Amino acid sequence: MGRRKDPIWDSFSRIDGKTGIRARCHECGHEMYGKVERMRKHVEQCHNRQLMIPGDHKRIADGGVPLMSQSMSMVKEQPAPSKRAKRIEEHFQTTPKSLQPDRQAELSRALAIFFVRNKIMYKAVEDDAFKKIVCPGFQLPDKKGIADLCRGLLDSQE
């Protein structure tokens, strides 16, 4: 008795005459090696795919009765996410050109606390890489300004 055929093969056709085991997707016609894991991955990513989900796995929460009397139900799969890599700028909201004075003061104090707690040299505020990660509306103090903020912070704690 041979191995049992994986149910994923119901969604593919075996292609004869090629080297190795190859398969063609019934939905989109894509050809691939007949490796079960690759076929499953293709099914997950195929845009036009309707997955066959066993009905007895989908149960009504309160009664435990299958949603459909058939053994299989059709479920439309969500489209796969875009393959295009997103730019980092797309993850941030645009901010106003300048911040409100109270917000500016709050962020300056938080920056001073960060510098003191992490023992960062004041000249780090002048580094181009540091400037790129700061909120666009925040007016970054120079190294003398951050030194004064840190000194004021330490004096207020004593």
31 pLDDT higher than 60:
yes
Residues 88-113 pLDDT 10s: 666 665 555 677 888 888 888 888 88
72 pLDDT higher than 80:
no
Per domain, the residue ranges of the chain are 7-76, 88-157
Tell me how far apart the alpha carbons of residues 150 and 123 are, in angstroms, rounded to a whole number.
Answer: 13
Phi, psi for 144 (deg, rounded to 5): -70, -40
Q: Give me the pLDDT at residue 81, please.
A: 58
* DSSP per-residue string spanning 36-60: HHHHHHHHHH-TT-EEEEEGGGSB-
86 pLDDT higher than 80:
no
Q: Please tell me which residue, 20 or 90, carries the higher pLDDT value.
A: 20
Give the residue carrying structure tokens 């090696």: 33
